[in-house]
A and B are shown apart, each in its own frame.
Chain A
Amino acid sequence: MTATRIEYHAPSTLAQAVALLEEHGHAAAPLAGGTDLVPALKHGVLQARHLVSLARIPGHREIAITADGGLSIGAFATLADVARSPLVGAVCPALAEAAVQAGSPLLRNRGTLGGNVCLDTRCWYYNQTEAWRASRPPCQKAGGQQCYVNQKQNVCVALFSADTPAVLITVGARATLAGPAGERAVPVEALYSGEGLQPLAKSGAEILTEIAVPAPPARSGTAYLKHSPRDSIDFPLLGIAAAVALSGGGTIASARIALTGARSAPCRLPELEAALAGGPVPAAGDRELAQLATRSLGALFLTDAVPHKRRLAGLMAVDAVERAAALAQGWRTR
């Protein structure tokens, strides 16, 4: 039983679902797999009074190869479907790696790709029971005035911790949103505001319906590395995705690196990307590049060990690039 009393809506079309979300505004939330929403309801941190279920809306669950050799993935597809799809494995192996490392088998059978992409930010002071949170004034994300992590600037720094978006950003995936004004497609990277309080740069009445992954360029590879306390169930303390394309001569033509679990949005590492472009494939554990990546991260506001996470991010970023490049070196014309 959740802490919040709710009204349940089960529309049978996308248009009805959008209309319901628009009608109830901040009091409404879309319900897909519910694996993140239901715990938030139980904790009493999600104040939605109206749940708009997406379960009875047909479609948006298919995974297909597009005409140009990219991927089209319905946002209501479960993480289990994404993880086990041979099409995802062939076109974007890192996406399958990220999906299979999200949560546990039980959670992946319910949780959806769209839900993972739209995951709310998390914080030690927010994702707690009402009894736990009652011991102090509520934090900003829970409706109060204070951020207990970033007390100086007093701006919410809740962390974005989903696994799949980092990969989607590195491969230049686009998201289709259905809203009151019709459909629009944006780069996945543009879905995030960077703010802990409202992590998504979309209106509450917009529903994510599809993820489009472009065809991978020749001699390219992708990788996703995750660091978490346990190999299952946990959110990443840090997740790093890399997409690397090699030139004919074997140097790096382009590298895109994104990380999750360090800021309020998944973020790129542009300095590392620039340093790698045109150069040789780095060896795993290349300290110079790792230090450059760590320095480029800037300040982090975390409840856990910041220096540790910064160093780890640098090392993991270089390892992810090396792994993606190894796949690119084994590229076969398909």
Chain B
Amino acid sequence: MKELVQLSVNGQTHDLVVRPERTLLDVLREDLGLTGSKRGCDLGACGACAVLLDGRPVSSCLTLAVEASGHEIVTVEGLARGGGLHPVQEAFVEHGAVQCGFCTPGMLITVTALLDERPEPTEAEILEALSGNLCRCTGYVKVLDAVRTAIRRMRQPGLPGSVAPEVRA
């Protein structure tokens, strides 16, 4: 039996008919053409498919599309603001925190959610927030540099961000 679902994705409402065994990731990528969220392990262990569900980062590969009906979903395509990149995205580009790029959408979603909740997270909180996102290229060093820059930028817009000092321990 197919189910009627109403997905609110990046502020846009979509009425869809989906089979109940399809995941939110399946529907985002295949039906809505939003291929930013990546299918990594497809078992909830890598974080590449992370999206915001009512503001909280979740694995879209483990969330059935029918369960997401009626909730607010934000994917990496919905992070940019007013035609420009989100400060977190800008900082990732600047610091070269993107290598093969496969984990990047999930990282951006996780970091954005963290900074929405805690604008000035401690180093431990940053590491904890990212502990569900696996990266096999960067070694996380440049990712953490980018997060620190994004924190400073969001506190003081217009700040140059080439150097990322340690945030408070």
A residues within 8 Å of B by Cβ?
1-2, 4-8, 10, 31, 34-35, 38-39, 41-42, 51, 53, 55, 80, 103-107, 109-110, 231-233
Q: Residue B45 contacts which of A41, A109, A233 (CB distance < 8 angstroms)?
A: A233
Contacts between chains A and B (CB distance < 8 A), count? 87
Question: Judging by beta carbons under 8 Å apart, are B20 and A7 in contact?
Answer: yes
Task: Across the interface, name the chain B residue whose C-beta is closest to A105.
Answer: B132
A104 and B132 contact, Cβ closer than 8 Å, known pairs A8-B3, A8-B20, A35-B44: yes
A6 and B21 contact, Cβ closer than 8 Å, known pairs A34-B63, A106-B59, A110-B59: yes
Q: Which chain A residues lie closer than 8 Å to B56 at the CB level?
A: 80, 109
Question: Judging by beta carbons under 8 Å apart, are B131 and A109 in contact?
Answer: no
Contact string against A for B residues 68-96, beta-carbon threshold 8 Å, 1 for contact and 0 otherwise: 00000000000000000000000000000
Q: Which chain B residues lie closer than 8 Å to A35 at the CB level?
A: 44, 59, 62
Q: A4, A104, A110 — which one has the most chain B CB atoms within 10 A of its CB? A: A104
Question: Judging by beta carbons under 8 Å apart, are B66 and A8 in contact?
Answer: yes
**Top 8 nearest A-B pairs by Cβ distance?**
A104-B132, A8-B20, A232-B131, A106-B132, A2-B21, A109-B56, A38-B62, A106-B59
8 A Cβ contacts from B94-128 to A:
110, 128
A34 and B67 contact, Cβ closer than 8 Å, known pairs A109-B56, A232-B131: yes
Task: Across the interface, name the chain B residue whose C-beta is closest to A127.
Answer: B43
Q: B44, B59, B131 — which one has the most chain A CB atoms within 10 A of its CB? A: B44
Question: Judging by beta carbons under 8 Å apart, are A106 and B43 in contact?
Answer: no
Question: Judging by beta carbons under 8 Å apart, are B20 and A1 in contact?
Answer: no
17 A-B pairs besides A104-B131, A106-B132 with CB distance below 8 A are A7-B20, A8-B20, A8-B64, A10-B66, A38-B63, A39-B44, A42-B43, A104-B45, A105-B110, A105-B131, A106-B50, A106-B58, A106-B110, A109-B56, A109-B57, A110-B59, A232-B131
Q: Which chain A residues lie closer than 8 Å to B1 at the CB level?
A: 7-8
Q: Residue B23 contacts which of A7, A31, A38 (CB distance < 8 angstroms)?
A: A38
Task: Across the interface, name the chain B residue whose C-beta is closest to A4.
Answer: B21
Task: Across the interface, name the chain B residue whose C-beta is closest to A43.
Answer: B43
Question: Judging by beta carbons under 8 Å apart, are B67 and A231 in contact?
Answer: no
Q: Which chain B residues lie closer than 8 Å to A232 at the CB level?
A: 131-132
- Chain B binding site: helix, strand, loop or mixed by DSSP? mixed
8 A Cβ contacts from B13-49 to A:
19-23, 26, 42-45, 47
Q: How far is the CB of B20 from chain A (nearest CB, A)?
A: 3
Task: Across the interface, name the chain B residue whose C-beta is closest to A104.
Answer: B132
Q: How far is the CB of B59 from chain A (nearest CB, A)?
A: 5
Bound Cα distance A41, B63 (Å): 12
Task: Across the interface, name the chain A residue whose C-beta is closest to B1.
Answer: A7
Q: A4, A31, A51, A106 — which one has the most chain B CB atoms within 10 A of its CB? A: A106
Q: Residue B58 contacts which of A2, A4, A41, A110 (CB distance < 8 angstroms)?
A: A110
Q: Which chain B residues lie closer than 8 Å to A1 at the CB level?
A: 19, 21-23, 26
B167 within 8 A of A: no
Question: Judging by beta carbons under 8 Å apart, are A107 and B132 in contact?
Answer: yes
Question: Judging by beta carbons under 8 Å apart, are B62 and A39 in contact?
Answer: yes
Q: Which chain A residues lie closer than 8 Å to B110 at the CB level?
A: 105-106
What are 19 A-B residue pairs whose CB atoms fall within 8 Å in the complex?
Answer: A1-B19, A1-B23, A6-B20, A8-B20, A31-B67, A34-B63, A38-B44, A38-B62, A38-B63, A39-B62, A42-B43, A80-B56, A106-B58, A106-B59, A107-B44, A107-B59, A107-B62, A109-B53, A110-B62
Q: How far is the CB of A242 from chain B (nearest CB, A)?
A: 24
Q: Which chain A residues lie closer than 8 Å to B3 at the CB level?
A: 8
Bound Cα distance A10, B64 (Å): 12
Bound Cα distance A331, B151 (Å): 38
Task: Across the interface, name the chain B residue whose C-beta is closest to A51.
Answer: B20
Q: How far is the CB of B69 from chain A (nearest CB, A)?
A: 9
Task: Across the interface, name the chain A residue whose C-beta is closest to B26.
Answer: A1
Question: Judging by beta carbons under 8 Å apart, are B21 and A5 in contact?
Answer: yes
Q: How far is the CB of B85 from chain A (nearest CB, A)?
A: 23
Q: How far is the CB of A125 from chain B (nearest CB, A)?
A: 17
Q: Which chain A residues lie closer than 8 Å to B59 at the CB level?
A: 35, 106-107, 110
Q: How far is the CB of B16 from chain A (nearest CB, A)?
A: 14
Bound Cα distance A1, B18 (Å): 11
